[in-house]
Structure 1
């Protein structure tokens, strides 16, 4: 599997790029994980949207889903004719949320562009060689972490595990999601000693604890807001996690 960071800014787009959005590819199949502000433009740098096989959302806060309206326009009004509908998985009502963002009428079903599917905790599906499973997260709206098992980029005969927390505080569901992950992409929007709220986001320390308790091999930190220091969260995560830690940047790719 190959991960491309389309955007990694938390809560809003940032000076260096888009908000949370990631492209995961394996065996000729491509899926997106979240699709925040600026994601559509960045996706066009790496993939023809006609080749996108599915979209997954950890939750439906605007900074993780708002560019679905851009995907709708692209698929519906492409000059050479509409693109085929793509499956859209989310832990809440994706169709209703898309209507809210686009200010579309109640009879708009997006049937030509999207097939909306419920994907709450315990849900499981396959896209090509990738198996995607949803785990409980702790956030103010329905949210999940996503565990994806698929072929290794180095040895396609060997399966590897990629974990994506979405937005969450540290919880048992996320630990199970990240269990023995070869690569864990974890949000760490809060800084230790600055942000005291619980039940919303992780700090670098809690992201590191998640990786350590789950037995993950490598930790990537994401969803860092423009006012959050990547170095502060990295050092905090390294203080509790024995493996390698790196804050991601837009345009980076990682093989699993």
Structure 2
């Protein structure tokens, strides 16, 4: 698997930094995970957006999905698409409210929203707690500790495994999902403090402990907001995890 970081700024885009977005490739299949603010621009810099084979969203906060509206405009109105978007509806795996939420974000008024469904270019598929196959990938979703319907994912291909936490607080469910994973891509939105709100985000300490407890091979830190000290988050994780740990940078790629 090849993982490319299209965006990794947490909660909001930063200066010249897109929000959450990742491209996962195997056997010529392109899976886009998240499509936050600014991610579509970064995607176009490395791949033809019409070549995407599926979309996967952990949850529906804007920093993870806002650019779906821009992708909709591109897929509906591009004068010369490389792949007919209506003959090739894009599978879109997301929480169950996704069709209504994306229509509301895209449509300008109530009259249009009453008749719009985006089903001409997307094939909406509601996520549940369990395993689905998306192209060559086996994707296991588990409910994440976050204020809205949200999921963490374990993605397996060719005997290799990537765990993407999405936005979540630390939990035993996440520990089990990450067990012996080759790579954990973990959000770390803040430095550690005992008074941090529960079931919202992880700190560098939480991410490091997750990787250490699960016995993962490598830890990649992401979703660090512009106002958080990334170096401090990285140092925290390194104190807890004995293996290799890295703070990802937009544009980087990783072989898994």
TM-score, structure 2 as length reference: 0.93
Instruction: Give 1:1-256 correspondences, 5 Å limit.
Output: 1-80=1-80, 82-83=84-85, 84-104=88-108, 105-122=113-130, 124-151=131-158, 159-193=159-193, 196-256=196-256
Q: CA offsets per residue over residues 136-188 of structure 1, 9 Å max, x none? A: 2100001000110013xxxxxxx200010000000122112211111110000
Cα contact 1:137–1:174 (8 A) shared by 2:
yes
Q: Gapped runs of 5+ residues in structure 2? A: none
SS in 2 for 1:35: coil
Is the Cα–Cα contact under 8 Å of residues 179 and 214 in structure 2 kept in the other structure? yes
Tell me, yes or no, if the aligned pair for 1:60 and 1:92 is still in contact at 8 Å: no
Contact 1:147 1:177 in 2 (8 A): yes
Measured after TM superposition, the shift of residue 194 of structure 1 is: 8.4
Tell me the SS of whatever aligns to 1:18: coil
8 Å CA contact retained: 2:5, 2:23: yes
Task: Give unmatched runs, 5+ long, in structure 1.
Answer: 152-158
More helix by share: 2
Structure 1 runs (4+) deviating above 6 angstroms are none
**Contact 1:18/1:38, CA 8 A, preserved across alignment:** yes
| Alpha-carbon distance between aligned partners in 1 of 2:19 and 2:97, rounded to the nearest angstrom | 21
Q: CA RMSD in A?
A: 1.4
Q: Is the 8 A contact 1:59 1:92 kept in 2?
A: no
Q: Is the 8 A contact 2:107 2:116 kept in 1?
A: no
Secondary structure of the residue aligned to 1:173 is helix
Secondary structure of 2:251's match? coil
Within 2, Cα distance between the matches of 1:108 and 1:133?
A: 31
Q: What residue is the counterpart of 1:154 in the other structure?
A: none
| TM superposition shift of 1:42 | 0.6
Separation in 1 of the partners of 2:49 and 2:68?
A: 12
Question: What is the TM-score of this pair, normalised by structure 1?
Answer: 0.93
Contact 2:170–2:202 (8 Å) recurs in 1: yes
CA contact (8 A) 1:13 1:37 kept: yes
Shift of 1:103: 3.2
